[in-house]
Amino acid sequence: MAIRPFTIDIPQSRLDWIARRLDEAEWPDPAEGEAWAYGASTAAMRDLVAHWRGSYDWRAREAAMNRFPHFLVDVEVDGVAYTVHCLHVVGKGPDPKPVLITHGWPGSFVEFLDIVDPLTDPAAHGGNAADALTLVIPSLIGYGFSSKPAKPIGPRTIARAFDQAMRQLGYPRYIAQGGDWGSSVSGWLGYEAEGCEAIHLNFTFGWTRPDAQPETEEEIAAAANLGGIWQREGGYMAIQSTKPQSLAFAMADNPLGVAAWILEKFQGWSQLPDGDLWAVYSRDHVLDNIMVYLVTGTFGTAAWLYRGVFDEPVPAGARVEKPVAVANFPGEMARFPRSTVEKSYNVVRWVDMPRGGHFAAMEQPALFADELRAFVRSLR
């Protein structure tokens, strides 16, 4: 077991390969009037690649990521060794509470870069030093700079790895926060990790007991709505949960394809004024996230999580009894009434957020940070 400092330093040969593949890419035929109706918009992709090749500076973005301390932590789960990459930023305050913040797919640790300073050093941002948090922001195993598993694993295995990493970093007691797959990891931590004291979620579909059936009219309507959403939007999940390796062959040599696959989710899962992606995100920030998949070659192993989850089902009757907070962002597609969520979680705090969607911390960093800070404050 070991903890060692880590600096992002991608070989120039890898960056040159990405640039060359973009320049040589075969573009698909656009569909008449397509916009985003059939998947990634050709016009939007042309715009993004023009910025990527003309203005985007990975070395500058890499330096901005390296402004925060990164570490690699070796752990072992069920006799299998993994390495967990994480940002580890100690709070500047009298008693900074450690919080583990976990991303999902197709996100990465870069989703949270804008909340690190306000949460770890609130006094420098007009707040109270007593609210300072210590943040540990890992890359899911199989994603980014964490190690690649030898086969698909699920969020329960990742939760056990992250719990070990937190203890090795010196935090036997902590709070877990998550959205998307991060909510599933956080659910498992809240359910079975002794050191996890409470969890905060901005996505409630990640960890649910299989026998918790909808009962009220509101619950039944929400479940039916989700079924309609998956029928329209769930093609990616059908592939990634059944034949992820076939998809990996298509994407391993295709930066344009990876970018389109990811960008379409940022368009479809975010709350965007008039559908304008760039009214909420910067092109550089979205490209940072895409590049993490490309520079590490982890698109394939990241998709494996959709298959691995089937080997780690939530037990019937299971419920997280530790305190759970829910930040209910209105642009999130998979939304449920509180009564549904309480079947699986001991919800002590429920906040209907004014705006924001699936990538909450990246879309609305100030709102996300304020809500997480308020929850931790309520536990003191």
Per-residue model confidence as pLDDT tens digits over 324-372: 999 999 999 989 999 999 999 999 999 999 999 999 999 999 999 999 9
Pair 358, 331: CB distance under 8 Å: yes
Sketch the domain layout of the chain as residue ranges.
41-379
Q: What is the DSSP string of 106-141?
A: T--GGGGHHHHHHHH-GGGGTS-GGG-EEEEEEPPT
Per-residue pLDDT of 177-204, as tens digits, reads 999 999 999 999 999 999 999 999 999 9
The CATH class given to the 41-379 domain equals alpha beta
pTM over the 0.75 mark:
yes
pLDDT (tens place) for every residue of the chain, 380 residues total: 699 999 999 999 999 999 999 999 999 999 888 889 899 999 999 999 999 999 999 999 999 999 999 999 999 999 999 999 999 999 999 999 999 999 999 999 999 999 999 999 999 999 999 999 999 999 999 999 999 999 999 999 999 999 999 999 999 999 999 999 999 999 999 999 999 999 999 999 888 888 888 999 999 999 898 888 888 889 999 999 999 999 999 999 999 999 999 999 999 999 999 999 999 999 999 999 999 999 999 999 999 999 999 999 999 999 999 999 999 999 999 899 999 999 999 999 999 999 999 999 999 999 999 999 999 999 98
Residue recorded with tokens 């705090």: 349
What is the DSSP pairing of strand 345-352 with strand 97-102? unpaired
What pLDDT does residue 1 have?
62
Query: By three-state DSSP, how is residue 174 classified?
Result: strand
Amino acid letter, 40: A
Residue 83, Ramachandran bin (φ over 0: left; ψ between -120 and 50: alpha; else beta):
beta
What is the distance between the alpha carbons of residues 227 and 205, in angstroms, rounded to a whole number?
12
DSSP string, 315-327: PTT--EEEEEEEE
Total residue length of the chain: 380
Tell me which residue of 164, 154, 161, 211 sits closest to 184, measured CA to CA: 154
